[in-house]
Amino acid sequence: MSDMRARFYAELDPVLDAQPDAVVVLAVIGAEGAAPAAARHPGRVIDVGIREQALVGVAGGLALAGLRPIVHTYAPFLVERAYEQLKLDLGHQDVGALLVSTGASYDASTAGRTHQAPADVALVSALPGWEVHVPGHEDELAGIVRREAATTRRVYVRMSALQNDRAYPVDGRLHLVRDAAGDAPLVVAVGPLLGPALEAARDLPVRVAYTATPHPLDTAGLRDLAGGTPVLAVVEPYLEGTSAAQVSAALADRPSRVHHVGVPRDAELRRYGTPRDHAAAHGLDAAGIRRRVKGLLG
């Protein structure tokens, strides 16, 4: 298993081969990784310099000219710095782009708050017409990028440093990964938190389901798995409660108890260290998730 980011750069060359309308747009970050694809496809990897407003604005203009922009940089610069461009230069113009971010939540743990954007999924999914994918494995990433490079949709793909042991289908569905009694509490794990969630649940009477697509959430699948009186935990590697509105709407017709587990939104963690340190501080390592899941039992 390689680094998800390295895999993304490796995919660019075959994607540009397969999709004649695809164009990669960068703001310096990723230029080195994309260099082989740029050499093989002159003019189809556009680096605008450290200019994120232009990054997304240019992508919108390319889409208006009928091309398929693949836009890549660090999550905070792609989503937060250029948020109005996502809203207006893509959404309001009714055109699409494939955005692929690196630096998920606290992956850049040593870089500090400037390079962290745990609210990215909440922000993107607050805009109309976006799909958000959080692959938990490099093969999932490759599948999503290949597929979405061929569409005209508005798609946000969030790459992570942490990966699961194996890939699951990237069909937008919830997949039951660990079964238990039919009425046992359900843990819904998103993207790279499946591994820690499975470890957390190892000897607990709970079921574990997985998705790489939190938005739109597979609400039909959730209703099927959750049953008539749902007891569940939604474990997401970004801002806590990001999927709460979708989950609550899906279960509005039945009495339910739901714990939302994610990056806490009430305080900025002013520490460095490793992503593992940050996961533990946020309660997103196996031990922390286990504490929250146990709260569903009894």
Partner 1 sequence: MTTTVPPQILDLVSRVTGDEKHDPSAHSTLDVLWVLYDQVLDVAPDRVDDPDRDRFLLSKGHGPASTYAVLAARGFFPVEWLDDVASWDSRLGHHPDRTLVPGVEIGSGSLGHGLPIAVGTALGLRARGSSARVVVLVGDAELDEGSNAEAIVVAARFGLGNLTCVVVDNDSDPLGWPGGIGARFAVEGWATAEARTSDHAALRDALLRTERDRPTVVVADASRRATGVAA
Q: Which residues contact partner 1 (rule: CB under 8 A)?
A: 23, 43-44, 46, 48-49, 51, 53-54, 56-67, 69, 84-85, 88-89, 92-94
Return d(Cα 113, Cα 136) in angstroms, integer: 23
Return d(Cα 31, Cα 9) in angstroms, integer: 9
Structure tokens at 36: 């082989």
Helical spans, DSSP H, in the chain: 4-18, 35-40, 52-64, 75, 83-85, 120-125, 138-148, 194-200, 219-226, 244-250, 275-281, 286-294
The residue (of 85 and 213) whose beta carbon lies closer to partner 1 is: 85
The residue (of 21 and 277) whose beta carbon lies closer to partner 1 is: 21
The residue (of 66 and 298) whose beta carbon lies closer to partner 1 is: 66
The residue (of 84 and 268) whose beta carbon lies closer to partner 1 is: 84
Query: Kind of pairing, strands 207-211 and 186-190?
Result: parallel
- Give min distance, CB of 91 to partner 1, in A: 10
The residue (of 53 and 152) whose beta carbon lies closer to partner 1 is: 53
The residue (of 95 and 187) whose beta carbon lies closer to partner 1 is: 95
The residue (of 40 and 271) whose beta carbon lies closer to partner 1 is: 40
Could you count the other beta carbons within 10 Å of the beta carbon of residue 120?
27
Among 149, 142, 178, 184, residue whose Cα is nearest residue 163: 142
Return d(Cα 169, Cα 185) in angstroms, integer: 23
Query: What secondary structure letter does DSSP report for 99?
Result: E
Q: Which residues contact 42 (CB under 8 A, 6 or more apart)?
A: none
Q: How far is CA 239 from CA 79, 105, 136, 273, 294, in A?
A: 14, 8, 17, 20, 21
- Give min distance, CB of 189 to partner 1, in A: 37
- Give min distance, CB of 129 to partner 1, in A: 12
Q: Which residues sit opposite 127 in a β-bridge?
A: none
- Give min distance, CB of 61 to partner 1, in A: 2
- Asked if the bond preceding 169 is cis, omega within 30° of 0, the reply is no
- Give min distance, CB of 5 to partner 1, in A: 25
- Give min distance, CB of 67 to partner 1, in A: 5
- Give min distance, CB of 142 to partner 1, in A: 25
